[in-house]
Amino acid sequence: MKELTLREKVGQLIVAGFPGLDIDEQTQRLISDYKIGNIILFAHNVKDKEQVKSLCTDLQAKISEHTGHPALISIDQEGGRVTRLPKEAVNVPGAMAIASTGRPENAYAAGRITAREMLALGINFNLAPVLDINNNKKNPVINVRSYGDTAEVVTEYGLQMMRGLQEGGVLAAIKHFPGHGDTAVDSHLGLPSIDKSLEALAELELKPFQAAIDSGAECLTSAHILFPSIEKNQVPATMSRTIITDLLKDKMGYQGLVISDCLEMNAIQEFYGTAEGAVGALKAGVHLLFISHSGQLVMDAVERIEQAVESGELPIAIVDEAVEKVLFYRAKYGQVVNGDLSDTEKAVNQRAAEAISLESICHVSGKLDTVQRNDLDTIIIGSLPYRPDQASSRTSTELSFPAEAADFLGIQHLMTDFNPNEQEQIRIAEQVKGYSKVVVGLYNGCDHTGQVELVNRLSRAGHQVTAVALGKPYDLEMLEGDIYGLAAFEYTTMAIRSVIRILGGEAVPTGKLSLRN
């Protein structure tokens, strides 16, 4: 470490992203001139397995050449609606779906499957699992990414996912410390604030994190959230030495790698500036800084950190401690052999994920009257998926619950707007008049209430309605009358196929909501 220049030290502490499927000129410069040693991949970097494998091989070669150390290549692969791996890979169900199976071993299996799929592509760092407790139903960004709304459920399932990833050979980052569950603001878009005392946090939000620390958590992500009762300086947890060093490291005993959430999120960029946020995060005790999209902001942050060190504003001892921590985990996880999974391994992973998905589907209300194949008296309606928040994966117009379910069952379908107004509701009600049974796919109708109003309108009109919540299960609480409700938690191909099996009578729903009510 003594042989490293300041530029080389700072480069170890940055995780950068880039816009395309290949290493572009600016990213090449970040690696060669700014000594950036770590990368984050998003859906826009992913085409197929062969492209991702080739990209990761190139990244490892270039980063090793210019920094002397293997790279940490990270990705958000939580499962469910937050997935980045290519379609040919096995993308497991998300957190709330897995917890609804009632079997913690499914979380461990999901971690092991995900680790195998990632390592086969050359990705060694997963920004998961989520240990936030979803104790605010209006939370716009966590919701089904959480295992549930109690510390016990989140702890039991989250730690199993963490263990599966770690034992599978992938660095796992628990997130978002000290808790992002009780917010009504998405930190990608604004600056949330949770005005709870440390005692109140210790009674709920901190419990899963403390359990994970005690169980050997190696990496933890900070939250861009204000905690004014704990940190008086009006800075979010990511920039708070009180929270990152005094609470997390000293009081809770955490000794692993601390990483920031992306410093380009509005909670940082708009209120503090990305470069200033980077300096503030290092001062707080964060080791690894994510600047996930803009190469220019990466360069700005590196230069600002260097200036802070040279002026004495940021002690070099803080930088050295962070570099030592990062290099330890780069050495431990950076040597990845991205060999293909065998056909047998692929098949085993796929069957396991499909079994977890089927077990996750919950019967919430009413009585199911199964849909017979080629039933002329049943129609399926619903909208295409849309991207509900900035954490979600890019959505595809190719995926349609009504079209896929109708095609499999040999019945009619009708597409709707994701938030139908009264005029459209009336039009749809007219179009389905000739059908006694209507299956409706809901996608976060609690946020776009036209969906829920349409379902209730059809129920009042005398149709036998089945409602499938393909996002937040809270949609089903807003339904009136004797409606059969299924919670599937995510608008994914795997979840849709599990629902189809239940609608067609091939399987029965065995999941139980991992929520108190």
439 pLDDT band (50/70/90 cuts)?
A: very high
Assess whether 328 and 375 both reside in one domain.
no
Assess whether 178 and 127 both reside in one domain.
yes
Contact 281, 264 (CB under 8 A): no
pLDDT tens digits for 357-376? 999 999 999 999 899 999 99
pLDDT score, position 395: 65
Tell me how far apart the alpha carbons of residues 272 and 234 are, in angstroms, rounded to a whole number.
11
Assess whether 434 and 490 both reside in one domain.
yes
**If you average pLDDT over residues 254-274, what whole number do you get?**
96
Q: Domain end: 333, 353, 373, which one?
A: 333
Six-digit token string for 142 = 């966590």
108 pLDDT band (50/70/90 cuts)?
A: very high
Tell me how far apart the alpha carbons of residues 95 and 109 are, in angstroms, rounded to a whole number.
12
Please confirm, yes or no, whether 195 is among the known catalytic residues: no
Is residue 346 a part of any domain in this protein? Answer: no
Q: What is the pTM of this model?
A: 0.96
* 465 burial via Cβ count (<10 Å: 0-12, 13-18, 19+): buried
Peptide bond into 293 cis (omega under 30): no
**Does 517 have pLDDT greater than 70?**
no
pLDDT score, position 231: 95
Please pick, among 44, 69, 188, 293, the residue that the annotation labels catalytic.
188
Is residue 126 a part of any domain in this protein? Answer: yes
Is residue 143 a part of any domain in this protein? Answer: yes
User: Domain containing 401: what range?
Assistant: 361-503
CATH number of domain containing 468: 3.40.50.1700
339 pLDDT band (50/70/90 cuts)?
A: confident
**Does 396 have pLDDT greater than 70?**
no
Is residue 160 a part of any domain in this protein? Answer: yes
Contact 496, 130 (CB under 8 A): no
* 129 burial via Cβ count (<10 Å: 0-12, 13-18, 19+): buried
Contact 159, 87 (CB under 8 A): no
Please confirm, yes or no, whether 188 is among the known catalytic residues: yes
Assess whether 367 and 226 both reside in one domain.
no
188 pLDDT band (50/70/90 cuts)?
A: confident
111 pLDDT band (50/70/90 cuts)?
A: very high
* 300 burial via Cβ count (<10 Å: 0-12, 13-18, 19+): middle
338 pLDDT band (50/70/90 cuts)?
A: low
Residue tagged 């470069």 (tokens): 275
Contact 264, 274 (CB under 8 A): yes
Assess whether 228 and 192 both reside in one domain.
yes
Quote the number of domains for the chain.
2
* 328 burial via Cβ count (<10 Å: 0-12, 13-18, 19+): middle
Is residue 342 a part of any domain in this protein? Answer: no
What torsion do the CA atoms of 428, 465, 488, 134 make, to the nearest 10 degrees? 90
**Does 385 have pLDDT greater than 80?**
yes
Is residue 513 a part of any domain in this protein? Answer: no
**Does 340 have pLDDT greater than 90?**
no
DSSP string, 425-450: HHHHHHHTTT-SEEEEEESSTTTSTH
pLDDT score, position 185: 77
CATH number of domain containing 241: 3.20.20.300
Assess whether 25 and 140 both reside in one domain.
yes
Assess whether 289 and 427 both reside in one domain.
no
Assess whether 299 and 393 both reside in one domain.
no
pLDDT tens digits for 273-310? 999 999 999 999 999 999 999 999 999 999 999 999 99
Assess whether 319 and 420 both reside in one domain.
no
Please pick, among 261, 389, 447, 475, the residue that the annotation labels catalytic.
261
Q: Domain end: 282, 314, 333, which one?
A: 333
pLDDT score, position 1: 62
Is residue 450 a part of any domain in this protein? Answer: yes
- Measured from the Cβ of residue 377, the count of other Cβ atoms closer than 10 Å reads 13
The number of residues making up the chain comes to 517
Assess whether 66 and 24 both reside in one domain.
yes
Assess whether 408 and 484 both reside in one domain.
yes
Tell me how far apart the alpha carbons of residues 406 and 386 are, in angstroms, rounded to a whole number.
20
Assess whether 315 and 368 both reside in one domain.
no
Is residue 46 a part of any domain in this protein? Answer: yes
Tell me how far apart the alpha carbons of residues 181 and 175 are, in angstroms, rounded to a whole number.
11
Helix (H, G, I), strand (E, B) or coil at 290: strand
Residue 311: which residues within 8 A CB-CB, separation 6 or more? none
Contact 168, 201 (CB under 8 A): no
**Does 387 have pLDDT greater than 90?**
no
Q: Domain end: 284, 316, 333, which one?
A: 333
CA atoms within 13 A on the CB side of 223: 31
Tell me how far apart the alpha carbons of residues 23 and 39 are, in angstroms, rounded to a whole number.
11
